[in-house]
Amino acid sequence: MEGLGLNLKCRFCNNPVHDVFLDLGYTPLANSYVKKSNISKPEANFPLCAYVCRKCFLVQIDEEEKPENIFTDYAYFSSYSKTWLQHTEEFADEIINRFHLKKDSKIVEIASNDGYLLKNFKKKNIPILGIEPASNVAKIARKKGIPTVNKFFSNKTAVELVKRGETADILIAINVLPHVPNLNDFLKGIKKILKSNGTVVIQFSAYLSKLISQREFDTIYHEHYSYFSFYTLDKIFETHGLKIFDVDELKIHGGSLRIYATHKKHKVNVSTKIQKLILKEKKLGLRNLKTYTDFSDKVIKLKFELWKFFINAHKQGKKIVCYGAPAKGNTLLNYCGIKNDLIEFTVDISPHKQGFYLPGTHIPIMNPNHIKKNKPDYVLILAWNLKEEIMEQMKFIRRWGGKFVVPIPNVRIIQ
């Protein structure tokens, strides 16, 4: 399927892009939570349509809103999930051991958020530097004693840091690459700040293989400009003089990819996992345009599944609430047209979201204790990537016969 009247060029290879991957209509920005005082005011809505480049197979959305207007004052803080904190602590230990890091090594993290990861290196007295665009988040990181540069990472930022003597033995970017509209400039910056024998570690969720096979359409929102297969990512890095030498497929966040890369000139052993993953992606059809253009039909079927659940529950007079106020949840609810007439409230463990309303649907965000008071029949888990942690935290709903509902990859009711 081709989009009409679009003049979009691929942000990597500059090829004209016309083929629609998934059109989610017009929605507000996924993290633009609404204050109570603004609840009656009109919200800004933007087209949310993902396209696929038939030359390099990069899935992407147009830059409908500038990163400066999304990430400068940001509602997402990384330190409110036990699952995620445990994952990053294990990751830090793995990096320290694998690369034999010492007190003269330098760790630089791009989009370092509130210091959730870098604190683990600090504990081991390894020098660190965070680069974080959101001023409110960077402020909290600094309060924790994490040295943080409050800037967007770019080639220009890299040049400035290198002039100050800030170069990286290990450069880390977790869940940031999809958020970058100017990919080629970002990769130039990575190459610039990375020491000649340094390693860059990139990890991101919404890995295309899982996004397509598990119908994870809700991971598409305006903050995510690009969605990568390993095949495409390898091309991008190679173009910028960097080589990927190892890769891991991870279960975290519904399926993530972690890659390790270095300068092309730096001699390093290349893992056999790379070729295996390339073949795996090929079998999944990730180099076949039809795989991408057929995705919309799979998402429409999931939308009908969710509607069927709500219709049946409504007929039976059941009360439904949600757990979580993640960006992905806002994509799911807005695309499916599920609003506050069907869902009384959602809860979120982050105090930075409590007291606000979800964008578009205007569902109020409460403290998790609100579920105990209201005793709903169903808890729809919007943050399904953390479902095990949430179901353990909320297991008390079973006392009154409450059930959990997981919407992805299909609608499942869990008692």
Statement: residue 5 has pLDDT above 60: no
pLDDT of 175 reads 92
pTM confidence score: 0.91
Asked if residues 203 and 258 have their Cβ atoms less than 8 Å apart, the reply is: yes
Q: What is the mean pLDDT of residues 159-184?
A: 96
Across the range 303-314, mean pLDDT stands at 96
Q: Does residue 261 have a pLDDT over 80? A: yes
The domain limits of the chain are: 295-414
Residue 201: what are its φ and ψ, rounded to 5°?
-115, 115
pLDDT at 252: 82
Contact 256, 186 (CB under 8 A): no
pLDDT of residue 352: 86
* Average pLDDT over every residue of 227-250: 97
- Residue 42's Cβ-count burial label (10 Å; 0-12, 13-18, 19+) is exposed
Q: What is the pLDDT of residue 183?
A: 96
HSE at residue 57, side-chain half, CA atoms within 13 A, is 21
Q: What is the percentage of the chain residues whose pLDDT exceeds 90?
A: 87
**103 C-beta neighbours (distance < 10 Å), count:** 8
User: Does position 178 have pLDDT exceeding 60, yes or no?
Assistant: yes
Q: Which amino acid is at 349?
A: I
**CB 225 within 8 Å of CB 206:** no
Q: Which amino acid is at 338?
A: I
| pLDDT at position 397 | 98
Residues 346-405 pLDDT 10s: 999 988 899 999 999 999 999 999 999 999 999 999 999 999 999 999 999 999 999 999
**Rounded to an integer, what distance in angstroms lies between the CA atom of residue 241 and that of residue 378?**
51
CA distance 85 to 117: 8
φ and ψ at 322, to 5 degrees? -120, 160
Residue 131 confidence (pLDDT): 97
Query: Can you tell me whether residue 161 is helix, strand or coil?
Result: helix
The predicted pLDDT at position 80 comes to: 52
Phi, psi (degrees; rounded to nearest 5) at 399: -60, -35
pLDDT tier for residue 69 given thresholds of 50, 70 and 90: low
Sequential DSSP letters for 230-255: HHHHHHHHHHTTEEEEEEEEE-GGGS
CA 328 to CA 176: how far, in whole Å?
A: 15
Q: How much is the average pLDDT of 319-336?
A: 97
Q: Considering only CA atoms, which of 169, 61, 153, 57 is closest in space to residue 105? A: 169
Whether pLDDT at 29 is above 50: yes
Q: How far apart are CA 243 and CA 210, in angstroms?
A: 23
Residue-wise pLDDT for 129-152, tens only, equals 999 998 889 999 999 999 999 999
Alpha-carbon radius of gyration of the chain: 21
Nearest alpha carbon to residue 118 among 91, 155, 82, 158 = 91
Tell me how crowded residue 290 is: count the other CB atoms within 10 A of its CB. Answer: 8
Q: Would you say domain 295-414 falls under CATH 3.40.50.1370?
A: no
Range among 76-80, 253-257, 276-280 with highest mean pLDDT value: 276-280
Confidence of residue 6 (pLDDT cuts 50, 70, 90): low
pLDDT band at 67 (very low <50, low <70, confident <90, very high): low
Tell me the mean pLDDT in the region 220-244. Answer: 97
Q: Which of 323, 317, 292 is nearest to 414 (CA)?
A: 323
Residue 120 in this model has a pLDDT that exceeds 60: yes
Q: If you average pLDDT over every residue of the chain, what do you get?
A: 93
Q: Alpha helices of 72-197 — where are they, by DSSP H?
A: 82-98, 118-123, 135-143, 155-163, 183-193
pLDDT of 74: 47
